[in-house]
Structure 1
Amino acid sequence: MQLGELPHSRAAQALVDYLNSQGIQARMQALADDRFVVEIAEAAQSQQAEQIWQEFIQDPNHPRYQAASWTSGDSKVKFSYRRGPSFAQQVVSGAGPLTLVVLATCLVIYGLAAIGFVEAIYPPLFFFEQLQPAYLGEFWRAFTPSLLHFSIVHLAFNLLWWWMLGGQIERQLGFGKLLLILLVAGTLPNFIQFFMTGPNFGGLSGVVYALMGYCWILGRLAPQAGVSLAPAYAGFMLFWLALGFMDVLGIPVANGAHLGGLLVGMAQAYIDSKRINRTGTW
């Protein structure tokens, strides 16, 4: 069973050594694009291994991993000390085609708006001004507000989470699964937000909340699927959602899209976990 991917052989081997020291049989496999997969032999140990994986991701330099390599590491393992992958290579290797296309689309739209094309770009992409037949012919406007961002912080925050979580889902579960979550979470929560504030809103955060909810619930109910969200991140997600509804942040927050996206992601994760646990496939 694949636990996860790391960009450096030394880091991957340190995690393998620590897993083995904890009684979890593990190994490292090198991929063609300078990435390294950590695998475990027994699916029954997946929950314990997933917890160790999350702890390692949050603090890979903890002394316990080096200690495990000294005490139980394989002295025959050889490492390559070639220069590590570039930033662009890491971005590409941590994502899939859909993740990168959406990321690039949001960047292009923001860039064009920043250099003076606001009036040409924003009006056709905002949500319907009214839910009437005359507007519903422009059906794409139910989704396209998710691609709009109004500050560099807004853009960077959403795209970082999209890359991290969307990339994880696409690499582990496939293009189709991420596309389904994107379309549903990028559309239905926009209707909730429209009824709460009107048509002038935007951002990928509703989709981001769906990805968070999906990874969080699926990681708990079907950890063998290989996607998860650390408890600390789940806590941050819920805390930020609560702050938005309390209106103490001092900035406009799309609370309806956030809550709607979270519910969409959690519901999809629950459905998928039932199928995975029943059939063993996803």
Structure 2
Amino acid sequence: MMEIGVLGDPRAAQALVDYMATQGIRAQLQPVEDGTAIVVESPQYHRGREEYERFLAEPYHRRYMAASWESGAVPQRGEGARFDYGAPGLQFVQSLITQSGPLTLLLLLLCSGIWLFWNIGFAESIFGVMHFFPSWEQMSLSEGWRLFTPSLIHFSAMHVIFNLLWWWYLGGRIERERGAGTLLVLLLVAGTLPNLAQFALIGPNFGGLSGVVYALVGYCWITGRFDPQSPLALPPAYVGFLLLWLAMGFMGFMNMANYAHLGGLLVGMGQALLDSRTRR
């Protein structure tokens, strides 16, 4: 059996299991330290994971209520007719926490905090402290943090939301499966070397966590190629979308740090290759 996810509320987990049963997916609940885990048989992992992610996107959809009524999981009249998952905000927070780890959450909060201060009048100060070195001649070990800190700066709402959602989704998955150490290596290497590549080929005016996100994509993609049953394996549609996004940047459809993205992807792929050898 393979875990497809963890929910903080066991009633919500039961609703999802009831629905998956109507789709021919056999799932079971297992109590874990941070909530209730949903597990499925290995051949059904990817279908189960897709249903789990769809549930996270719309946990109050009528399909889950209907499935629970059909299975008899919903209390009858007099016992409380509404199947209550708990407050929507609480359910969101529980999912946010259970599907990540300390490092994932720490960076999520850090980038969100920087974005908040950026938009309440501190943009110039933040950029002055965190932007990349203006030139090769001005590089100095005394300000070595500038190699990494551009990865924490975001310039628009779409920019920060896109990056942090993928960081939470992929980074949380890697941290849960491989530990904070693996995720930290990916963060530091992919948050530094691709920045150097972007600077060398284009210039110093860039920022964002996208290079790190593409490292996570590369890591999960190659891990899945070696072990299709791995919880880190990504559905082909996800990989295809992100590679198309990368290609669109190089074709000029969007103004992005293309070489940081490509560099991050290569870093993640390389780390996955190294890890696959050590795990054989």
Please give the TM-score of this superposition, normalised by the length of structure 2: 0.81
Distance in 1, Cα, partners of 2:74 & 2:181:
38
Alignment partner, residue 79 of structure 2: none
Q: 1:86 to 1:52 in 2, by over 3 A?
A: closer
Contact 1:54–1:230 under 8 Å retained in 2: no
Q: 1:14 to 1:258 in 2, by over 3 A?
A: same
Contact 1:216–1:234 under 8 Å retained in 2: yes
Equivalent of 1:255, from 252, 255, 258?
Answer: 258
Percent identity of equivalent pairs: 46
What letter matches 2:163 in structure 1?
N
Alignment partner, residue 137 of structure 1: 142
Partner secondary structure for residue 46 of structure 2: helix
Residue 244 in structure 1 maps to residue 239 in structure 2: no
Alignment partner, residue 269 of structure 2: 266
Alignment coverage as a number of residue pairs:
261
Structure 2: 5+ residue stretches without partners: 56-60, 76-82
Equivalent of 1:127, from 118, 128, 132?
Answer: 132
Alignment of 1:112-191 (within 5 A): 112-132=117-137, 135-191=140-196
Deviation at 1:122, TM superposition (A): 0.9
Contact 2:132–2:149 under 8 Å retained in 1: yes
Contact 2:191–2:209 under 8 Å retained in 1: yes
Residue 214 in structure 1 maps to residue 219 in structure 2: yes
Per-residue CA deviation, residues 58-93 of structure 1 (Å, 9 max, x unaligned), is: 656898xx99x97xx8x8x89985526432222222
Deviation at 1:38, TM superposition (A): 2.9
Q: 1:134 to 1:237 in 2, by over 3 A?
A: closer
Deviation at 1:53, TM superposition (A): 2.5
Residue 27 in structure 1 maps to residue 41 in structure 2: no
Distance in 1, Cα, partners of 2:274 & 2:18:
35
Partner secondary structure for residue 29 of structure 1: strand
What letter matches 1:163 in structure 2?
W
Contact 1:217–1:270 under 8 Å retained in 2: yes
Deviation at 1:164, TM superposition (A): 0.9
Distance in 2, Cα, partners of 1:226 & 1:248:
33
Deviation at 1:264, TM superposition (A): 0.9
Partner secondary structure for residue 194 of structure 1: helix
Contact 1:147–1:204 under 8 Å retained in 2: yes
Alignment partner, residue 275 of structure 1: 278
Q: 1:129 to 1:118 in 2, by over 3 A?
A: same
Deviation at 1:227, TM superposition (A): 1.2
Deviation at 1:139, TM superposition (A): 1.1
Per-residue CA deviation, residues 164-185 of structure 1 (Å, 9 max, x unaligned), is: 1111111121111111110111
Contact 1:209–1:262 under 8 Å retained in 2: yes
Residue 10 in structure 1 maps to residue 14 in structure 2: yes
Distance in 1, Cα, partners of 2:119 & 2:181:
32
What letter matches 2:44 in structure 1?
A
Equivalent of 1:50, from 24, 45, 51?
Answer: 45
Deviation at 1:272, TM superposition (A): 1.7
Deviation at 1:266, TM superposition (A): 1.2
Contact 1:95–1:168 under 8 Å retained in 2: yes
Deviation at 1:13, TM superposition (A): 2.4
Alignment partner, residue 199 of structure 1: 204
Alignment partner, residue 111 of structure 2: 106
Deviation at 1:11, TM superposition (A): 4.4
Residue 37 in structure 1 maps to residue 41 in structure 2: no
Contact 2:6–2:98 under 8 Å retained in 1: no
Contact 2:225–2:233 under 8 Å retained in 1: yes
Contact 1:28–1:37 under 8 Å retained in 2: yes
Distance in 2, Cα, partners of 1:173 & 1:237:
22
Deviation at 1:27, TM superposition (A): 3.2
Q: What is the aligned-residue RMSD (CA, Å)?
A: 3.0
